Amino acid sequence: MSGLADVERAIRRAEADYNRPRDSVRLIAVSKTYGADAIRPLLDAGQRRFGENRVQEAQAKWPALRSAAPDLDLHLIGPLQSNKTRDAMALFDAIHSLDRPKLARAIAEEAARIGRCPDLFVQVNTGAEPQKAGILPADADGFVAECRDVLGLPVVGLMCIPPIGLPPSPHFAMLAMLAQRNGLSCLSMGMSADFEAAIQLGATHVRVGSAIFGERRSSGATVPG
């Protein structure tokens, strides 16, 4: 598990370098496209927080793994279709892709039905990219208020995926500013290539896949799941 140990070490070093409290950054090991055989050694090494980007793929592999690790902390980091809300809320402990009013209403309805709700992150489209999911930065305050104050949802933070090929730090800084302005304590930002820069700018949850598991064969693209 050298990948996991290396990433853990790099996170602790970045915390020290950037004056962040030790263990203030939580590692989400992104296991999308990887099967149980690749995941089990991480569970054996003590890793409990994992991320998946498709509901169906997660449903196929995690129930069996969870029975061996009841303290698992499973995060949905990919887009969520409203009609998969029930399945997602039955499986995941946190959802990072709350990105539109219709989904917020579906989550609130299901939360009322089952009497609990995963921790929620509002996804912000910091680069205002037309093809990318997320609330536009200008709409973030209003959407957070609607989710939290009108629908009563447990919004804990914000999440972003910066545009490919541009320096990510301005996007991380924008997300941190929006979170602070809205009194949100969690920031889901930073992937294999840039988690140290994200930690410098306040990330509390980094989502790291390939640096732990190796390069994915399939893209693991963020298609709706």
Ligand X SMILES: *Cc1c(COP(=O)(O)O)cnc(C)c1O
Binding stretches for ligand X (CB under 6 A): 30, 32, 53, 77-78, 161, 191-193, 207-211, 220, 222
**Residue with structure tokens 């997300």?**
175
**Residue 116: how many other CB atoms lie within 10 Å:** 9
Give min distance, CB of 219 to ligand X, in A: 9
Residue number with CB closer to ligand X (60 or 112): 60
Residue number with CB closer to ligand X (49 or 146): 49
**Minimal CB distance residue for ligand X:** 209
Give min distance, CB of 53 to ligand X, in A: 4
Residue number with CB closer to ligand X (30 or 106): 30
Give min distance, CB of 221 to ligand X, in A: 8
Using CA atoms, how far apart are residues 173 and 168, in angstroms rounded to an integer? 9
Residue number with CB closer to ligand X (96 or 148): 96
**Residue with structure tokens 């070490």?**
9
Give min distance, CB of 48 to ligand X, in A: 18
Residue number with CB closer to ligand X (68 or 136): 136
- The alpha-helical segments, DSSP class H, found in the chain are 2-17, 36-44, 55-68, 85-91, 101-114, 140-145, 169-181, 195-200, 210-213
List phi, psi (to 5°) of 78: -105, 175
Q: Which of 103, 50, 59, 97 is nearest to 78 (CA)?
A: 97
Using CA atoms, how far apart are residues 188 and 206, in angstroms rounded to an integer? 6
Give min distance, CB of 145 to ligand X, in A: 25
